[in-house]
Structure 1
Amino acid sequence: MWLRGVLVAALAALAAWGVHAAVPAIPLLTVAVVLGIVAGQIPAARPALAGALAPGLSVAAKPLMQLGIVLLGLKLSLVDIAALGWATVATTVAIVLTTFAGTLGLGRWFGLPGHQPLLIATGFSICGASAIGAMSGVVQAKDEETATPIALVTLCGTLAIAVLPFLWHPLGLSALQFGHWVGAGVHDVGQVVATAQIAGSAALAVALVVKLTRVLMLAPVIAVASMVERHHQAGRSTLLADNAPAASVNARGVAKRPPILPLFVAGFIVAMLVRTLIPLPEQVLNAADVVQTGLLAMALFALGTAVNLGTLLRTGGRPLAVGLLSWALIAALSLGAVHLI
């Protein structure tokens, strides 16, 4: 029943790969999200996306996304991160936490509904649309809550690819400083590569290590969010048991709660430790990278299909204002960190 939706997501991921191969400056995962958003706006496609293809798209957006996050851990070596020096690591973590708290506060101040403030904060501060997908699964966010943050982080990340290179020389940054700024301030890994590569291989290497240090924050942030969600659900468990749909209630009539440490977060940590402690062959790492990118592309296409631009436009400028302010906040904090180090 779910095979057709997964197959469509896989074909979309291949199409995104083709676009990226033809135009390497366009990040593959950004193309995948955009393809999903475009597909979601086609009136003739909506019945299939919401009907026959929905189970498979749900598999792509959740279990396959989580497997991709686990494999993302193989990109992280604690040795590489430690080589940045304590000052760079400390400022990077501080930027993530400050941006997360600031964006969460902005979202609530602007009155964004449901889990949108949390999802936007996660995506903008850590690693873009993939972080939003991971967080949405933990807090059991609705598709419409996830769609707007996905669209915003894709928009702002794409703007970063165009805007940041023009500011490189006017801001008086060296190539390595520019790479550090990009790694600390751009959302998605693919967007970081597309932006930093214009400054050379050394700048790109710095950008990637700084960016992956931010990705490392995904595990503790998701774990804390899971514990907070458990606490909130425990406080209203009786009400949920009486009123929640059957899918969210276990056999004894008690509302289900997320695990303290989601399994995919534990897998991410294990993969990171494996990369750090075991000298894996380059072929294995390359194969894992291909699979991880493909899984995330499928997941982001599936998440993109849930974006309804008409609904987004009718919400007014509040979500867009939060996204742009968060983007400006992380860019400014990252630039300040570059000058401090």
Structure 2
Amino acid sequence: MNRAANSASLRRISPGLALALVAFGLALLISFLVPAIPTLTACVVLGILFSALPWRNFVRTEVKPGLAIAARRLLRIGVVLLGFKLSLVNIAELGWLVLGMIVLIVVITFFFTWGLGRMMRLPGQQSLLIAAGFSICGASAIGAMAGMTRAKDSDTATPIALVTLCGTLAIAVLPALRPLLGLDSAEFGMWTGASVHDVGQVVATAQIAGATALAVAVVVKLTRVAMLAPMVALAGVVVARSDRKAAGASGASDELDESDAAVGTAADLTPVKRPAILPLFVVGFLAAVLVRTFVPLPDSFLEVAAYGQELVLGMALFGLGATISIGNLVRTGGRALAVALISWAVIALLSLGAVEIARAAGVAALG
């Protein structure tokens, strides 16, 4: 019986997973032909284009289950595999000044963007997801926060599109500003790693300035990635506290209405299901970081993990992109776009200020 059910489930999700896999292959080809376009960025764009096709409703029932699996479960697997890219030893080499500034930038940008989104009354969990994506590590952080809050795919899709848009713009904008700002290779690498969103976008931006810029940018960027777990945990505490306050207010309202007292009592007996403060896949991410730091892993394993991470994240981002309706994005995405652009500008300015402080202090990591 179980075997038959598993076989039926596999047949149901196979078309969508196969489509996501083909889209990832096409994204690889696009990135190979146009190196300035990261593979994961291409995956999101292909998903958005697929959602705009006139015949998408005809195939939606066939591919939707598989794309939903890709958008959620594969995204979480990708977050875990991302941990194998991160060594605490490399982060420590930046020195306490740079580390402190990176942490401060992440925290300030996160809460600024979250507060701005709430002030602009973005729907659902979009404020929190945009804050995570822009301050920490792009689509991976959005996926982690979405998993913690159990956000809807519709809430997740718009932040993914916005972080892709701004990260892609950064590939062109930041190198153009470099000569005007007088940044050397190492300083440009720090600015890129501290302000650009996804790892792929960081690589595409920093490599324009050479190997030194790329090396510094990747280490700085992975330091921001290390903030993923504590920021998810902190947001989990805040969300849980907000849920408790909402539940308490609802309970107080019930007590004021004597006619509903029995109903209120029955509701109080029903446990409220709240999101976990630290989801299992974030624990997996932390475990991967610790393994990468303290266990001498072979290069072949790290290469396979890197390829696997790009594969599952690419398929996941195509699935998320396919949930985006361009028409709805145009009609309702103005406020979200404003929040994203302001957040992007703030993190770029804060990161540039950190570069100037590091230059004045003569930080060895940038010398």
User: Which TM-score tier does this pair reach, normalised by the shorter chain?
Assistant: over 0.9
**Corresponding residue for residue 322 of structure 1:** 339
CA distance in 2, matches of 1:255, 1:52: 34
Residues 237-276 of structure 1: per-residue CA shift (max 9 Å, x gap) = 6979xxxxxxxxxxx9644322232110110000000000
**Corresponding residue for residue 211 of structure 1:** 221
CA-CA distance at 1:234 after TM superposition:
4.7
The gaps in structure 2 that reach 5 residues or longer are 1-11, 252-268, 359-367
**Corresponding residue for residue 45 of structure 2:** 34
Count of residues in correspondence between the two structures: 329
Residues 1:48 and 2:59 are matched in the alignment: yes
Once superposed, what is the RMSD of the aligned Cα atoms?
Answer: 1.7
Residue type at the aligned position of 2:338: A
**Corresponding residue for residue 17 of structure 1:** 28
Compared CA separation, residues 147 and 220, structure 1 to 2 (3 A): same
CA-CA distance at 1:64 after TM superposition:
1.0
**Corresponding residue for residue 185 of structure 1:** 195
Q: What TM-score does the superposition give when structure 2 sets the normalisation length? A: 0.86
Residue type at the aligned position of 2:287: V
Partner of 1:24: helix, strand, or coil?
Answer: coil
**Corresponding residue for residue 148 of structure 1:** 158
**Corresponding residue for residue 259 of structure 1:** 276
Residues 1:268 and 2:285 are matched in the alignment: yes
Residue type at the aligned position of 1:34: V
Residue type at the aligned position of 1:61: A
| Kept in 1: contact 2:206–2:213 (CA 8 A) | yes
Which structure shows the higher helix fraction?
2
Residue type at the aligned position of 1:203: A
CA-CA distance at 1:168 after TM superposition:
0.6
**Corresponding residue for residue 249 of structure 1:** none
CA distance in 2, matches of 1:237, 1:101: 24
**Corresponding residue for residue 296 of structure 2:** 279
Residue type at the aligned position of 1:196: A
What does residue range 226-305 of structure 1 map to in structure 2 within 5 Å? 226-234=236-244, 254-305=271-322
Compared CA separation, residues 304 and 316, structure 1 to 2 (3 A): closer
Partner of 1:46: helix, strand, or coil?
Answer: helix
CA distance in 1, matches of 2:66, 2:239: 27
Compared CA separation, residues 125 and 271, structure 1 to 2 (3 A): same
Of 86, 92, 97 in structure 2, the residue corresponding to residue 87 of structure 1 is 97
| Kept in 2: contact 1:147–1:308 (CA 8 A) | no
CA-CA distance at 1:47 after TM superposition:
4.3
CA distance in 2, matches of 1:332, 1:123: 17
| Kept in 2: contact 1:237–1:254 (CA 8 A) | no
CA distance in 2, matches of 1:66, 1:202: 32
Compared CA separation, residues 290 and 117, structure 1 to 2 (3 A): same
Residue type at the aligned position of 1:4: P
Residues 1:136 and 2:153 are matched in the alignment: no
| Kept in 2: contact 1:183–1:207 (CA 8 A) | yes
| Kept in 2: contact 1:226–1:262 (CA 8 A) | no
Residue type at the aligned position of 1:190: G
CA-CA distance at 1:119 after TM superposition:
0.7
CA-CA distance at 1:338 after TM superposition:
0.2
Residues 1:100 and 2:110 are matched in the alignment: yes
CA distance in 1, matches of 2:125, 2:87: 32
Compared CA separation, residues 191 and 316, structure 1 to 2 (3 A): closer
| Kept in 1: contact 2:148–2:278 (CA 8 A) | no
Residues 1:221 and 2:231 are matched in the alignment: yes
Partner of 1:269: helix, strand, or coil?
Answer: helix
Residue type at the aligned position of 1:27: P
Residues 19-45 of structure 1: per-residue CA shift (max 9 Å, x gap) = 112222210100001001111111211
CA-CA distance at 1:125 after TM superposition:
0.4
CA distance in 2, matches of 1:48, 1:226: 37
* Residue identity (%): 57
Q: What TM-score does the superposition give when structure 1 sets the normalisation length? A: 0.92
Residue type at the aligned position of 1:297: G
Residue type at the aligned position of 2:234: V
Residues 26-72 of structure 1: per-residue CA shift (max 9 Å, x gap) = 101000010011111112113433x2212211111111111111010
Of 312, 318, 331 in structure 1, the residue corresponding to residue 348 of structure 2 is 331
Residue type at the aligned position of 2:33: A
Residue type at the aligned position of 1:22: L
Of 113, 137, 141 in structure 1, the residue corresponding to residue 123 of structure 2 is 113
**Corresponding residue for residue 171 of structure 1:** 181
CA distance in 2, matches of 1:329, 1:9: 34
Residue type at the aligned position of 1:42: L
CA distance in 2, matches of 1:253, 1:162: 53
CA distance in 2, matches of 1:8, 1:254: 40
